[in-house]
Amino acid sequence: MTTTTPPATSTATLKTKPATGSRISRMSPMRKVALAGGIAYLVSFAASIPQLKLFAGLIDDPSGFIGGTGSNTSVLWGSWLEVITAASCIATAVALYPATRRVSRTAAIGFVTTRVVEATLIMVGVLGILSVVTLKANFAGATGNEADALHMAGETLVAMRQWTFLLGPGLIVGFNALFLGYVMYRGRLVPRIIPTLGLIGAPLMFLSATATIFGVWEQSSVPSALCTVPVFLWELSLGIYLTFKGFKKSPEDIAPV
């Protein structure tokens, strides 16, 4: 009688194969932090740029918009994008906080604070814009002094929105660049050329906002646009790097100050 011996089973085949999880589940905690922060930055860019065009008609001619020449749809979409921008502003600071606090607790808290202030100013501007839409709805059939009052109110609300835009994305963003740029530069969390752009751009943002406040140039002028270029490149390159590369050096290896 011939006995059939089963083939030997190698040790490798006896090992249980690890469960195939998602790529994100296999990331280290700090890689997830970098990814979340990077995506939040990119979302803020994607949401903030289109609204400049969507609001153009209202900003240029508030009275004409209230009179019926403007599109409610574009303004409402622009307002919704502003809300997303404000939320993503806070998200960048909150998402990166577990990493930034390991480099500098003071700068990390400062960054969260200035991001919240920026988001608050953006939301105040949104309230002004949406209030103009309400005035337009109430303007139907208004004549004489009532119509003049509505036009004046619309001009005032748009002016308020312009000031909040200057103080929020214009001035406060300089403080954002200082706090986060310092953390990224000192901790070497990304290539130093990236935070250097932010540290150079911060004083330029202060200069541009100050010049606009005192009437040296307009908020939409060429000098103002040139002053925003370094910070624009800093935030965009930071968002891309954190999303696709993560931190260059683990924040867990840095002694906080």
pLDDT in tens, 77-112: 999 999 999 999 999 999 999 999 999 999 999 999
HSE-up of 222 (CA within 13 Å, CB side)? 0
Please state, in angstroms and rounded to a whole number, the distance separating the CA atoms of residues 66 and 63: 5
Domain total of the chain: 1
- The pLDDT value given to residue 24: 57
Structural domain boundaries, residue 68? 28-248
Contact assessment for residue 38 and residue 18, using Cβ atoms and an 8 Å cutoff = no
| pLDDT at residue 16 tops 70 | no
What does the mean pLDDT of the chain come to? 88
| pLDDT at residue 171 tops 50 | yes
Domain contains 1:
no
Model confidence pLDDT, tens digit, residues 115-165: 999 999 999 999 999 999 998 887 766 677 777 888 889 899 999 999 999
- The pLDDT value given to residue 88: 97
Query: CB under 8 Å, gap of 24 or more: what pairs does 224-231 form?
Result: 227/201, 228/201, 228/204, 229/201, 230/197, 230/198, 230/200, 230/201, 230/204, 231/173, 231/174, 231/177, 231/197, 231/198, 231/201, 231/202, 231/204, 231/205
| pLDDT at residue 1 tops 90 | no
Tokens of 200: 């150079």
- The pLDDT value given to residue 39: 97
What number is the average pLDDT over the span 63-69? 80
Domain contains 91:
yes
Domain contains 99:
yes
Domain contains 225:
yes
**Of 106 and 6, the one with more pLDDT:** 106
Domain contains 9:
no
- The pLDDT value given to residue 9: 45
Domain contains 14:
no
- The pLDDT value given to residue 25: 64
| pLDDT at residue 12 tops 70 | no
Percent of the chain topping pLDDT 90: 69
The terminus-to-terminus CA distance of the chain in angstroms comes to 80
Contact assessment for residue 6 and residue 61, using Cβ atoms and an 8 Å cutoff = no
Domain contains 11:
no
**Of 14 and 23, the one with more pLDDT:** 23
| pLDDT at residue 26 tops 90 | no
HSE-up of 142 (CA within 13 Å, CB side)? 16
At 38, is the secondary structure helix, strand, or coil?
Answer: helix
- The pLDDT value given to residue 206: 97
Domain contains 226:
yes
Amino acid letter for position 164: T
- The pLDDT value given to residue 257: 62
- The pLDDT value given to residue 140: 63
